[in-house]
């Protein structure tokens, strides 16, 4: 079994900051964090232990979904950490802390989360904007090493894909171990027309989020007021699934 295939088993039953979760999603019914779009909440289901990926075109209105979610959860009284190195300086917002680390890695995110925990300010929601800015830490690909127990199919994967897989796995473990919600934004890197289907491979390396995310959505502008939503993965509902929503 590969690491990415075993992630679900690895996170089930882990001790968390807010208690012990035999099922990492058992608190979802009690603690949900609202998004700015009620019609998407049934798919997003932002809650403890859950990781959600959202893909959108850079420069389009929906590409700001990460920031909008952070502002919404903060305004609802939930402690929120937004990792957005490219975000310009803005006025302070209660319950929202914006981090702009020069080197954005899962390890750096964990360090900042642990600092908040030490200060008794455990965040409810962590938003990462965006996946392409993340770098593995430490490097997970060692071309000179060989383990005969490794899956040969795994060895043949591109090193960049291995690193992207590991980043997704680490973010999911962060959500589960600290009992918080993680939202990861990603850019749709491959252009396509409105008549073409939305597919995960258009996310480039961020397509690796599909393995460990609880929900993965791709957004495409349909018109001035609506977006097409492609639900590529959803542990708690139908997928693949498409619908159009107001935005």
Distance, in Å, from the CA atom of 246 to the CA atom of 113, rounded to the nearest integer, reads 34
Query: Residue 157 and residue 2: Cα distance in Å, rounded?
Result: 12
Asked if 96 and 74 touch (Cβ cutoff 8 Å), the reply is yes
How do residues 49-73 score in pLDDT, each as one tens digit? Answer: 999 999 999 888 899 999 999 999 9
- Strand bridging mode 181-187 / 19-20: unpaired
pLDDT digits 0-9 by tens, 122-179:
999 999 999 999 998 765 555 555 454 555 555 566 888 899 999 999 999 999 999 9
**CA–CA separation, 84 and 101 (whole Å):** 8
Q: Torsion angle, CA of 143/149/154/156, rounded to 10 degrees?
A: 50
C-alpha to C-alpha distances, 7 to 4, 47, 75, 113, 235, nearest whole angstrom: 5, 18, 32, 21, 14
Q: What is the pLDDT of residues 6-19, one digit of tens each?
A: 444 444 444 444 44
CATH architecture of structural domain 7-246 = 3-Layer(aba) Sandwich (3.40)
Task: State how far the Cα of 55 lies from the Cα of 24, in Å rounded to an integer.
Answer: 24
* Listed residue (31, 1, 113) closest to 10, CA to CA: 1
The count of residues in the chain is: 247
Domain boundaries, the chain: 7-246
How many helices and strands in the chain, by DSSP H and E? 7, 10
pLDDT at 9: 46
Task: Assign residue 77 a region (left: φ > 0; alpha: ψ between -120 and 50; beta: otherwise).
Answer: left
Predicted model pTM = 0.81
Q: 71-80, 156-165, 211-220: which has the minimum mean pLDDT?
A: 156-165
- Residue 219: is its pLDDT beyond 90? yes
- Per mean pLDDT, which of 5-9, 76-80, 90-94 is the most reliable? 76-80
Any residues with CB less than 8 A from the CB of 113 and at least 6 apart, and which? 81, 122, 123, 126, 174, 178, 180
């Amino acid at each position: 079994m590969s690491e990415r295939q075993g992630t679900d088993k690895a996170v089930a039953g882990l001790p968390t900051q807010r208690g012990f979760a035999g099922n990492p999603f058992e608190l979802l019914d009690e603690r949900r964090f609202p998004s700015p779009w009620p019609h998407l909440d049934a798919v997003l289901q932002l809650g403890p232990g859950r990781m959600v990926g959202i893909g959108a075109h850079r420069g389009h209105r929906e590409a700001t979904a990460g920031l909008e979610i952070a502002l919404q959860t903060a305004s609802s009284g939930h402690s929120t950490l937004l990792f957005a190195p490219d975000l310009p300086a803005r006025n302070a917002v209660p319950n929202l802390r914006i981090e702009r680390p020069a080197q954005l890695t899962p390890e750096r995110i964990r360090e900042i989360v642990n600092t908040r925990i030490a200060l008794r300010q455990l965040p409810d929601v962590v938003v990462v904007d965006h996946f392409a800015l993340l770098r593995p830490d430490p490097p997970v690909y060692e071309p000179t090493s060989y383990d005969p127990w490794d899956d040969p199919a795994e060895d043949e994967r591109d090193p960049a894909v291995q690193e992207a897989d590991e980043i997704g796995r680490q973010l999911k473990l962060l959500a589960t171990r600290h009992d918080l919600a993680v939202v990861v934004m990603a850019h749709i890197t491959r252009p396509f027309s409105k008549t073409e289907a939305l597919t995960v491979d258009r996310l480039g390396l961020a397509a690796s989020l599909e393995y460990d995310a609880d929900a993965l959505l791709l957004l495409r502008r349909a018109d001035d007021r609506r977006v097409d939503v492609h639900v590529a993965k959803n542990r708690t509902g139908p997928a693949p699934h498409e619908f159009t929503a107001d935005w």
